[in-house]
Amino acid sequence: MTEQVIVEQNAAHPSIQIIRLNRPEKKNAITRAMYRKIADALIAANADAAIKATAILGTEGCFSAGNDLGDFLAAAMGGAMPREIVEFLYAMVRSEKPIVSGVDGLAIGIGTTMHMHCDLTIASARSQFRTPFVDLALVPEAASSLLAPRIMGPQRAFALLALGEGFSGEEARDAGLVWKVSAPDAVEATTLATAAKLAAKPPEALKIARNLIRGDREEIIARIDDEARHFFERLHSTEARAAFEAFMRR
Alpha-carbon gap, residue 136 to 178, rounded angstroms: 25
- Residue 78 binned pLDDT confidence (cut-offs 50, 70, 90): low
The pLDDT of 164-181, averaged and rounded, is: 98
169 pLDDT above the threshold of 80? yes
CB 46 within 8 A of CB 9: no
Question: Mean pLDDT over all residues of the chain?
Answer: 94
Q: Is beta strand 16-21 parallel, antiparallel or unpaired with respect to 5-8? A: antiparallel
80 pLDDT above the threshold of 80? no
- Residue 1 binned pLDDT confidence (cut-offs 50, 70, 90): low
| pTM of the full structure | 0.95
Q: What percent of the chain is modeled with pLDDT above 70?
A: 97
Residue of 242 and 220 predicted with greater confidence: 220
77 pLDDT above the threshold of 80? no
CB 137 within 8 A of CB 234: yes
Residue 54 neighbours by CB under 8 Å, 6+ apart: 16, 17, 18, 19, 41, 42, 45, 95, 97, 98, 99, 100, 195
- Residue 113 binned pLDDT confidence (cut-offs 50, 70, 90): very high
The pLDDT of 191-204, averaged and rounded, is: 98
164 pLDDT above the threshold of 70? yes
Residue of 20 and 244 predicted with greater confidence: 20
- Residue 238 binned pLDDT confidence (cut-offs 50, 70, 90): confident
The pLDDT of 225-231, averaged and rounded, is: 95
- In the 8-state DSSP scheme, what is residue 13? S
